[in-house]
């Protein structure tokens, strides 16, 4: 379905992506303590480990070369001697969690999900990656229905990486493609010919990976309708199982961000960026991909799509997942843990993270403990982002701000984006591109304190 221009224009405001609620800038850091967070982690572990298992997000921050559009936490180096120290720190951090949990439960953690993100996981040698995964399982069991995935950089993923990770249980890989146009690649300082992506894509298929995803970004410098269409048509030749189509998040105010390597005047203007988004949506639709939540597209036969149809989709800091674990532990520099009733973020500074781990300290820098109201709002936002529907007929799903929330939704209702009853909201097909805006109506913390400075990137 084609989205009318005037709606795309109207709802293109700055807003969160809701991988958590409250969103990070609204965490109440003054009320947070590492001790209380760890207590919440233990409580959630005790009730969820046996039936849901535990998810691990592991941040591997190194990259050999800086892409000037990148908003991820990364450290650029060509010195691979850094690998061993970092892997040792990750395993030590995991051991800290394992020892703590063992004091309160007889069960070993059952790992259901692992995601290796970055930076560039494939910066690390296959031997180090194997040592990392095997090290985790020295103190944990493999859960039924496990899903292990990693982000591979097409320029440095080797057959040995793919085989080593396959051998320890990985079946999903996502490749950072971004854009195939030579001028765009030069501007973002990422020279990556189609042949590189084709090679690693086919190698993964050959080894037996069952889900290959490609990340594309729209809104990059020098992109045009024709260049993005060409990138998408090239992508179609490899027929990935999933696609991420990210809106370029231009956040140059973030410290240490390298997003100054190109002229801002080279970025597509607002209307062009919106047209790029619509182009992508239409082409993916023609190619047989279905939009899953936001940013993600999958074939109808893909498990993420099936999870969406069966109302099993979940969302956390890793994005959309089909495994709903209430305990997600983030290991590594800047990683965020979500223990359902609390969030914690590790030190964002690599040297600080390593120093704290090596001094036997928890590397946690900040966090938030969810109030009863936060838990209800979070459930509504999850329902909207994952099920396109939420309901407050049950007393347990009501909060005192409901009248204000409904008032904020009214305009979107008249614009034909959603259906409102006195106890529920259903997002219509036409409202799908605007689920972040719809979720934002429930974000009582954001409305209570409008930011003085820019916190979020634009919706599109």
Ligand X SMILES: C[S@@+](CC[C@H](N)C(=O)[O-])C[C@H]1O[C@@H](n2cnc3c(N)ncnc32)[C@H](O)[C@@H]1O
Annotated binding site: 57, 63, 67, 69-71, 118-120, 151, 178, 190, 215, 249, 336
- In degrees and rounded to multiples of 5, residue 325 shows phi and psi of -105, 135
- Between 189 and 312, name the residue whose CB sits nearer to ligand SF4: 189
Closest CA to 228 of 274, 292, 191: 274
Q: Which stretch binds ligand X (CB under 6 A): 88-96, 117-125, 265-273, 362-370?
A: 117-125
Contact call for residue 66 and ligand SF4 (CB under 6 A) = yes
Contact residue for ligand SF4 among 63, 116, 385, 435 (CB under 6 A): 63
- Between 44 and 223, name the residue whose CB sits nearer to ligand SF4: 223
Report d(CA 294, CA 245) in Å as an integer: 9
Residues contacting ligand X: total by CB under 6 A: 18
Residues 6+ apart with CB under 8 A from 278: 2, 3, 8
Residue ranges of the annotated binding site for [4Fe-4S] cluster are 63, 67, 70
Contact residue for ligand X among 217, 318, 376, 388 (CB under 6 A): 217
Report d(CA 269, CA 106) in Å as an integer: 57
Residue 66 binds which of ligand X, ligand SF4, none (CB < 5-8 A, kind-dependent): ligand SF4
Smallest gap, in angstroms, from Cβ of residue 153 to ligand SF4?
5
Contact residue for ligand X among 12, 40, 73, 120 (CB under 6 A): 120
Contact call for residue 74 and ligand SF4 (CB under 6 A) = yes
- Dihedral sign from CA coordinates of 134, 136, 137, 143: negative
Contact residue for ligand SF4 among 38, 41, 58, 67 (CB under 6 A): 67
How far, CA to CA in Å, does 407 sit from each of 198, 373, 402, 410, 447?
50, 19, 9, 5, 13
Report d(CA 38, CA 44) in Å as an integer: 10
Residues 6+ apart with CB under 8 A from 318: 19, 55, 57, 113, 115, 117, 328
**Site mask, ligand SF4, residues 105-134, x = CB under 6 A?**
-------------xxx--------------
For residue 15, give the 3-state DSSP assignment: coil
Residue 325 host element (H or E): none
Residues contacting ligand SF4: total by CB under 6 A: 11
Q: Where do contacts with ligand SF4 occur on this chain (CB under 6 A)? A: 63, 66-67, 70, 72, 74, 118-120, 153, 176
Q: Where do contacts with ligand X occur on this chain (CB under 6 A)? A: 63, 69-72, 117-120, 151, 153, 176, 178, 215, 217, 246, 248-249
């Amino acid at each position: 379905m084609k989205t009318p221009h005037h709606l795309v224009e109207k709802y293109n405001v700055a807003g969160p992506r809701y991988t958590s609620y409250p969103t990070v800038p609204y965490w109440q850091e003054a009320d947070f303590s590492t001790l209380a967070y760890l207590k919440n982690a233990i409580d959630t572990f005790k009730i969820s480990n046996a039936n849901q298992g535990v998810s691990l997000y592991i941040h591997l921050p190194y990259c050999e070369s800086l892409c000037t559009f990148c908003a991820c936490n990364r450290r650029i180096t060509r010195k691979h001697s850094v690998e061993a120290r970092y892997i040792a720190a990750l395993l030590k951090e995991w051991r800290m969690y394992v020892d703590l949990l063992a004091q309160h439960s007889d069960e070993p953690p059952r790992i259901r999900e692992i995601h290796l993100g970055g930076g560039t996981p494939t910066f690390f040698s296959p031997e180090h990656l194997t040592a990392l995964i095997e090290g985790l399982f020295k103190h944990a069991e493999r859960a039924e229905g496990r899903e292990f995935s990693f982000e591979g950089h097409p320029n440095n993923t080797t057959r040995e990486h793919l085989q080593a990770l396959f051998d320890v249980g990985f079946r999903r890989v996502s490749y950072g493609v971004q854009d195939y146009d030579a001028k765009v690649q030069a501007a973002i300082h990422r020279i990556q010919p189609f042949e590189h992506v084709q090679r690693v894509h086919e190698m993964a298929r050959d080894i037996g990976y069952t889900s290959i995803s490609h990340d594309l970004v729209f809104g990059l410098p020098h992109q045009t309708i024709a260049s993005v269409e060409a990138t998408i048509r090239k992508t179609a030749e490899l027929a990935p199982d999933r696609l991420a189509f990210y809106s370029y998040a231009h956040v140059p105010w973030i410290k240490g961000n390298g997003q100054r390597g190109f002229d801002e005047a080279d970025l597509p203007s607002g209307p062009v960026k919106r047209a790029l988004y619509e182009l992508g949506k239409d082409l993916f639709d023609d190619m047989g991909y279905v939009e899953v939540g936001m940013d993600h597209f999958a074939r109808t036969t893909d498990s993420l799509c099936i999870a969406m149809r069966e109302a099993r989709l979940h969302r956390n800091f890793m994005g959309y997942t089909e495994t709903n674990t209430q305990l997600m532990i983030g290991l590594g520099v800047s990683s965020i843990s979500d223990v359902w009733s609390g969030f914690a973020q590790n030190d964002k500074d690599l040297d600080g993270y390593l120093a704290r781990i090596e001094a036997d300290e928890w590397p946690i820098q900040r966090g938030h403990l969810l109030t009863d109201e936060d838990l209800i709002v979070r459930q509504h936002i999850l329902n909207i982002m994952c099920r396109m529907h939420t309901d407050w007929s049950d007393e347990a799903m009501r909060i005192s701000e409901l009248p204000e929330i409904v008032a904020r939704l009214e305009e979107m209702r008249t614009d034909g984006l959603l259906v409102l009853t006195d106890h529920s909201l259903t997002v219509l097909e036409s409202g799908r591109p605007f689920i972040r805006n719809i979720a934002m109506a429930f974000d009582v913390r954001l409305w209570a304190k409008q930011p003085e400075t820019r916190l979020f990137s634009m919706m599109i």
